[in-house]
Amino acid sequence: MMRIGVFVNPYKEFIQNHFSQILESILKQGMEVYCPQDIVDSGLKPAADCQVIPAKEIPARCDMIFCFGGDGTVLRTVQIVREHQTPILTINVGGLGFLTEVKYEDFAQALKLIQAGNYIIEERLLLQGVFPQSNHPMVVLNEITVEKGRSTRVIEVRVEIDNRYFNDYVADGLIISTPTGSTGYSLSSGGPIVVPTNNCIILNPICPHSLTNRPVIIPAESKIRAQIFTDFPQVIISGDNQDIREVPSRTILEITRAPFNARLVKYPNSDYFALLRNKLAWGEDFRNKLRWSYNR
pLDDT in tens, 88-121: 999 998 777 889 999 999 999 999 999 999 999 9
Half-sphere exposure of 217 (CA within 13 A, CB side): 12
- Domain 3-125+261-279: state its class: alpha beta
Query: What's the predicted TM-score (pTM) here?
Result: 0.91
Catalytic, 71? Answer: yes
The helix or strand, by DSSP H or E, that contains position 27, with its residue range, turns out to be helix 13-27
DSSP code of residue 295: -
Q: Which of 49, 71, 231, 240 is catalytic?
A: 71
**CATH 2.60.200.30 domain range(s) in the chain:** 127-257
Report the C-alpha dihedral over residues 74, 80, 82, 84, rounded to 10 degrees: -110
CA gap 171, 217 in Å, rounded:
18
Instruction: Tell me what percent of the residues of the chain surpass a pLDDT of 90.
Output: 80
**Residue 3: its pLDDT value, please?**
97
What value does the mean pLDDT take over residues 3-28? 93
Give the pairing type, strands 143-147 and 234-239: antiparallel
Helices vs. strands in the chain: H and E counts, helices first: 7, 20
**CATH 3.40.50.10330 domain range(s) in the chain:** 3-125+261-279
CA gap 292, 269 in Å, rounded:
41
- Domain 127-257: state its class: mainly beta
Task: Give the bridge partners for 157, in sequence order.
Answer: 169, 228
